[in-house]
Structures are given as structure tokens and as C-alpha cells.
């Protein structure tokens, strides 16, 4: 599981260089799509083919809650403001390009030269429906659009002709996640006493929330302070 990531700073925000894969892990390469996620839900969906258990209902909540955040420990889904900082052409150059055979957008800090590549991974809209791979990219923010519509959130959208922050992403659609470093968790992650920390939920390796702690197998524990821990029994 590719969980190690140093990240790069672009316009003051530290971005991961790879998409989120299954719950709590990073994809193998910057060009990998990783997995798709519905807004404020922890379940990881395949980027192609038919899946089971798809939920067409609109997710609840006004922000992406920590227990539903699939980002690896110390990282989180970006806010709309952080995505907007990536699109600020005064400080960041963005260009549609191809990286190792994969189409997508490269965002480069004009001062430092630091860059990240976001693959045009497409999206999933139901149990057997995916689209846009290779021609379109959509990446969730944690910020819900509360006016004038409910059930929609801000997301980064791009194709070969544009890249901008859209406030009309249907929350039941599944997009990939490119996370940012959680500046508030670096110390907490080191000092957290997980033996006494409050547990917010148990999840399988695909990010599906479990009703209780398993007695066998590999699973993830999420704590109220935003940290998580993988357990093998």
C-alpha cells in the first residue's frame, strides 16, 4: 500500500503528488487514477467496470467530515479555497499535457518550479456508469455549495480547453481525490495516544464503514482527532 508521501508546496499549499487510492493510501504513481469517492463518503469505487452497493442518494453534511475522509494519515480533502489557490494564474501556471502517456493537467508554482500532475481520470455516476477518462478531470473539494442549491459541492473541473472551480458538483457523483497536507495534524499524529483516543469508526480496506470492530482481518480505525491506524488481526 503506497502510504508514504512528502508532497510539494504550490502557492503556499502542500499538495500530494498522487491521488488517493483505497481508503488511507496513495496511488502508485502520479499518473494513476486511484479510486473514486462520492462527496463526504468513505467508500472507494473502481474507476472502470461495474460495481455493487452503489448509493444514488445525496450524501448528507455541510463539509467533508474527518471520519469519511479517505486521505492517508496527516492529509485531507482540500477546501475550495485551496483549489482556487491552485488555479491562481498570478502564482501558478496550469497546462493540459501528457505525462507518461496519461493526459491531464500540470500545475506549476511560478516561483519555485514545484509541480503536480492531475490525471484526467473521469468520474462515476452509477453502478455501471463511468465517463470522461482521458478527456476530463474532476476533483472534489471538502466545501459544500449551500446557496442556491443543496446537494452540490465545489470541485476542480478541467479538460483540454479549461480548468476552473465549479460550484455545482452533484454530491452523489464519484470523483478522484487529490489531498493536501493537514498542517494541524503533524504534531497530533506523533503525540496521539491511540490507546485512549476516541474512536469515530471502523472501516474495511475499501473504505466502507463497519458496524463494529472486526475480530479478524485487515481494517482501519479512525479517531476523533483525524488520525487513523491500520490493524491486522
User: Within a domain: residue 109?
Assistant: yes
Residues 193-221 have a mean pLDDT of 75
| Confidence at 199, pLDDT banded by 50, 70, 90 | confident
The dihedral built from the CA positions of residue 171, 176, 182 and 188, taken in this order, carries a sign that is positive
What mean pLDDT, rounded, does the chain reach? Answer: 88
Confidence (pLDDT) at 64: 95
**Pairwise pLDDT comparison (226 vs 97), residue with the higher score:** 97
Q: Do 206 and 176 share a structural domain?
A: no
**Pairwise pLDDT comparison (4 vs 219), residue with the higher score:** 219
Residues 200-216 have a mean pLDDT of 77
| Confidence at 154, pLDDT banded by 50, 70, 90 | very high
Q: Do 226 and 162 share a structural domain?
A: no
User: Within a domain: residue 169?
Assistant: yes
Q: Do 167 and 58 share a structural domain?
A: yes
Confidence (pLDDT) at 190: 31
Give whole-number Cα distances, 55 to 59, 62, 64, 121, 169, in Å: 9, 18, 17, 21, 16
Confidence (pLDDT) at 226: 58
Q: Do 227 and 143 share a structural domain?
A: no
User: Within a domain: residue 187?
Assistant: no
Residues 163-169 have a mean pLDDT of 92
Q: Do 50 and 16 share a structural domain?
A: yes
Q: Do 153 and 100 share a structural domain?
A: yes
pLDDT at residue 196 tops 70: no
User: Within a domain: residue 1?
Assistant: no
Q: Do 168 and 97 share a structural domain?
A: yes
User: Within a domain: residue 47?
Assistant: yes
Confidence (pLDDT) at 204: 74
Range of the domain at 145: 8-181
**pLDDT tens track for 27-54:** 999 999 999 999 999 999 999 999 999 9
User: Within a domain: residue 2?
Assistant: no
Q: What is the 3-state secondary structure (H, E, C) of the chain?
A: CECCCCCEEECCEEECCCCECCCCCECCCCCCCCCEEECCCCCCECCCCCCCCCCCCCCCCCECCHHHCCCCCCEECCCHHHHHHHCCCCCEEEEEEEECCEEEEEEEECCCCCEEEEECCEEEEECCEEECCCCCEEEEEEEEECCCCCCEEEEEEEECCEEEEEEEEECCCEECCCCEECCCCHHHHHHCCCCCCCEEEEEECCCCEECCCCCCCEEEEEECCCCEEEEEC
CA distance 216 to 199: 18
Q: Do 147 and 72 share a structural domain?
A: yes
Confidence (pLDDT) at 233: 77
Q: Do 105 and 215 share a structural domain?
A: no
**pLDDT tens track for 71-116:** 999 999 999 999 999 999 999 999 999 999 999 999 999 999 999 9
Q: Do 73 and 162 share a structural domain?
A: yes
pLDDT at residue 66 tops 80: yes
Confidence (pLDDT) at 225: 60
Q: Do 135 and 22 share a structural domain?
A: yes
CA distance 47 to 61: 25
Residues 108-131 have a mean pLDDT of 97
Q: What is the dihedral of CA 142, 124, 5, 30, to 10 degrees?
A: -130
Q: How many domains does the chain have?
A: 2
**pLDDT tens track for 171-192:** 999 999 999 998 643 323 333 4
Q: Do 198 and 148 share a structural domain?
A: no
Amino acid at each position: 500500500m503506497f502510504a508514504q508521501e512528502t508532497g510539494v508546496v504550490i502557492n503556499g499549499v502542500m499538495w500530494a503528488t498522487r491521488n488517493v487510492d483505497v481508503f488511507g493510501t496513495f496511488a502508485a504513481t502520479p499518473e494513476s487514477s486511484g479510486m473514486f469517492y462520492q462527496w463526504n463518503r468513505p467508500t472507494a469505487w473502481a474507476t472502470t467496470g461495474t460495481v455493487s452497493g452503489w448509493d444514488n442518494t445525496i450524501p448528507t453534511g455541510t463539509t467533508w467530515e474527518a471520519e469519511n475522509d479517505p486521505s492517508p494519515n496527516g492529509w485531507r480533502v482540500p477546501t475550495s479555497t485551496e483549489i482556487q489557490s491552485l488555479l491562481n494564474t498570478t502564482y501558478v501556471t496550469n497546462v493540459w499535457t501528457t505525462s507518461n502517456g496519461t493526459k491531464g493537467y500540470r500545475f506549476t508554482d511560478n516561483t519555485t518550479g514545484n509541480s503536480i500532475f492531475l490525471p484526467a481520470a473521469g468520474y462515476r455516476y452509477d453502478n455501471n456508469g463511468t465517463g470522461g477518462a482521458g478527456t476530463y478531470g474532476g476533483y472534489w473539494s471538502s466545501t459544500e455549495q449551500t446557496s442556491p442549491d443543496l446537494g452540490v459541492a465545489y470541485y476542480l473541473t478541467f479538460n483540454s480547453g479549461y480548468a476552473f472551480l465549479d460550484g455545482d458538483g452533484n454530491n452523489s457523483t464519484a470523483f478522484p481525490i487529490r489531498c493536501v497536507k493537514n498542517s494541524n495534524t503533524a504534531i497530533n499524529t506523533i503525540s496521539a495516544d491511540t490507546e485512549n483516543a476516541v474512536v469515530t469508526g471502523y472501516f474495511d480496506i475499501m473504505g466502507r464503514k463497519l458496524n463494529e470492530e472486526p475480530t479478524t482481518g485487515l481494517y482501519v480505525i479512525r479517531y476523533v482527532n483525524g488520525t487513523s491506524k491500520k490493524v491486522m488481526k
